[in-house]
Chain A
Amino acid sequence: MKTLLAVLKKEWMETVRSGKLTVLVILSVLFGIMNPAIAKLTPWMMELLSESLSENGLSVGNITVDALTSWTQFFKNIPLLLVVFVLIYSSIFTKEYQSGTLIPILTKGLPRYKIVLAKFILVFSLWTLCYWLCFLVTYGYNAFYWDNRTVSCLFSAALYWWLFGAGITSVMVFFSAFSSGSTGVLLGTGGYVTAAYTAGLLPHIKEYSPVMLTNSLQLLTASAKPDGCMKAVLVTVLLGTFSVAASVPLFNRKQL
């Protein structure tokens, strides 16, 4: 346990001193502010455009914005935060393979699974931190300008999207355990998302796809119920657990 803590501390130090944490926190807050800002600015922008639109025969009616507009923006923008997150952390293992920094540590008799575990805990916690930070900022602004209670199932929708992202972090760790470069990690993670989207299009297996967890708009507008995602939740949790568990034997076998 002590050695695991030491490795975790090292990972944390790396994230802080390399500036990754600062970048992520700033981005999360910015993303969080952007959602209500866009909602707030929409009527004004439409007004600006209304003249040119009416020339084209389009008339702009009265636009009302509320918490739902802002939350819609949140769920549209959060994939971008996830992409940035994956790009930043896709090299968390591969950088160490390439520079050889793991060799002195492993040759001290540190069990390899502790490295996998520490790196997963870090990525998972950071995703949780960034996601909920972004959520809180949007929530605060929305509560100030409008009323969050007008949106249905907000917390379930947010929790599901977080889980989808958490699933991706574990898949990223899985591919990092054996790919030698970060390109392999990105391709693998991208492959997982593509497969999940493809499965989301097929009628019979659709409900099992982790992509179901990102159908937040239907939950917000009460056109779907949170219970409908339970199969997708189960599949995501199982896949995530399997990915991390399978990384250990794969990493054990990796020649460094």
Chain B
Amino acid sequence: MILAALVNGLALGAGYALLAVGWTVLLGAARLVNFAHGQLYMLGAFVTWFAISRFGLPYGVAVPVALVVVAVLGVVLQLLMTRMTLDQNIVNLMLVTLAFGYLLQGGAALLFGGDPQTIDSPLQQQDLALGAARFTGQDVLIVVLALAFYALTFVVLGRTDLGRMVRGVAEDPKLAQLYGIDAARVYLAVFVFSAVCAALAGAVVGPRSPILTSMGFEEVIVTFLVVVLAGVGNLVGGLVVAIGLGLFTAFFGTFFPPAYSTAAAFVVLLVVLVVRPQGLAARR
């Protein structure tokens, strides 16, 4: 039972991590917020499902299609918010992205219907075992992708010119212009990256359970939880906290009614914010 909870928690946590990596970069490196993040996760799952069920595309092709669709949507959303972003008008950005979230949810319900759907992934049918713990190929994919995305993001932000530009714009977008950096383009790139990460999370976590167009709100709350617990912008902390949250949820669900697991996670958040306001993984 313990081993099963451990494996389940790892997969769950890796899903949270994949969902949170984009937001961590968005909020930490670019000082941007996006409350439509959960709906982009939902769209990643639904466009994948739609590409498979309507066009008969294999799962491996449907996922990139979903990522492209959400990336294009991300471009449109960010272009609409360029002025607010350059002005770092955080309150308006929160409200506008919240509105985008509701619009995306309504649009998805019109397009895809309100019934629960299942994403047909061959990896979900692939049963694997580690001792007494059973898991699927899909769980392995989620963990591998989460680790790969965190490693990639870590290297890009720390070691490449693109990463330096993102960090420069995050520190001082006005000064960045004098370095010849087009801050609006950097914001666009970061927003699209974040949207694609959310869509990827939806596309790979989606096959684990039925998907609904109403999902997304809990996911954005979980993302927020991870980013705040880790300390805003802390990439490694984000991965550790996401995995920790997945394990906490899995173990909590093993011994207590799972319906209370989100509430329990928020109790942890409250305690952490009181004891360590800078976040669990942030350095003092």
Q: Do A and B bind each other?
A: no
